[in-house]
Amino acid sequence: MAHTHNEIIVNAPLQEVWDALNDLENWPNLFTEYSSLEILAREGDVTRFRLTTHPDPDHGGQVWSWVSERTVYPENYTSCAWRIETGPFEYMKIDWRFEAVPEGTLVVWKQCFGMKPSAPANDDQATEYLNRNTRIQMRAVKERLEAALTPSA
């Protein structure tokens, strides 16, 4: 099992960051890698959706698309997502945690995964790629949220 752990502080109140990052339909405007997100089903706190990326320059312009299911736990500001269509992964699970800190909101993303033998990368290569890309995406989300949301006092 491979995993990543990345975090960033968004200078905005917890509830506003939580709400913004759970507005799935807006993800293509928050994340630079996603070209579209289609909601397939929604029942209570569980949402099934299809994500499609912009062409990936690290993989010859490959466009990636997959179906994920995400459950939110508003009582403790966490969520868990897993890929239903796994693509190059044997499995992929992402845990998100949001926590109020003096500077605003700490956002933590943990990814647990395993790559298929036929995948274009092994676990170590995928870990390096996911860490690099997650940090890029977290910075983009931070900048976009801070520009849109009320800064914390």
41-68 as b/e: b if 16+ CB within 10 A: eeeeeebebebebeeeeeeeeeeeebbb
**Sheet of 78-83, strand order:** 2-10, 104-115, 89-101, 78-83, 65-73, 46-53, 34-43
C-beta neighbour count of 73 within 10 angstroms: 12
Tens-level pLDDT at each residue, the chain (153 residues)? 899 999 999 999 999 999 999 999 999 999 999 999 999 999 999 999 999 999 988 778 889 899 999 999 999 999 999 999 999 999 999 999 999 999 999 999 999 999 999 998 999 999 999 999 999 999 999 999 999 986 545
Contacts of 1 (CB under 8 A, 6+ apart): 112, 113, 114
Please check whether residue 48 lies inside any domain of the structure: no
**Both tokens of residue 1?**
């099992």
Please check whether residue 64 lies inside any domain of the structure: no
Is the pTM above the cut of 0.85? yes
Domain that holds residue 140: 2-35+72-148
Please check whether residue 81 lies inside any domain of the structure: yes
User: How many domains is the chain partitioned into structurally?
Assistant: 1
